[in-house]
Amino acid sequence: MQTLTIIKVGGKIVEDETTLSQLLKDFSAIPSYKMLVHGGGRSATKLAAELGLPTTMIGGRRVTDADMLRIVTMVYGGLVNKTIVARLQACGINALGLTGADMDAIRSHRRVPRKVLLDDGTTATVDFGFVGDVDRANGQMLATLIQQGITPVMAPLTHDGAGNLLNTNADTIAATSAMALAPFFDVTLIYCFEHKGVLRNPDDESSVIPLINEQLFAQYSADGTISGGMIPKIENALQAIHAGVKRVIITRADAIDGTEGTTIHN
Q: What is the pLDDT of residues 52-85, one digit of tens each?
A: 999 998 877 899 999 999 999 999 999 999 999 9
pLDDT tens, residue order, the chain (266 aa): 899 999 999 878 888 889 899 999 999 999 999 999 999 989 999 999 999 999 998 877 899 999 999 999 999 999 999 999 999 999 999 999 999 999 999 999 999 998 887 777 788 899 999 999 999 999 999 999 999 999 999 999 999 999 999 999 898 899 999 999 999 999 999 999 888 999 999 889 999 999 999 999 999 999 999 987 788 889 888 999 999 999 999 999 889 988 889 999 87
Q: Identify whether the C-beta of residue 202 lies closer than 8 Å to the C-beta of residue 194.
A: no
Cβ atoms < 10 Å from Cβ of 49: 11
Say what the pTM is.
0.91
Q: Identify whether the C-beta of residue 185 lies closer than 8 Å to the C-beta of residue 1.
A: yes
Pairing, β 186-193 against β 247-252: parallel
**Residue 172 — φ and ψ, nearest 5°?**
-65, -40
- Neighbouring-strand partners of residue 33: 4
Q: Phi-psi region for residue 44, left (φ > 0), alpha (ψ -120 to 50) or beta?
A: alpha
Q: Identify whether the C-beta of residue 84 lies closer than 8 Å to the C-beta of residue 156.
A: no
Q: What is the Cα–Cα distance from 199 to 208, expressed in whole angstroms?
A: 4
Domain ranges of the chain: 3-264
Helices (H) and strands (E) in the chain, counts: 9, 16
Class of 3-264 per CATH?
alpha beta
Cβ atoms < 10 Å from Cβ of 91: 13
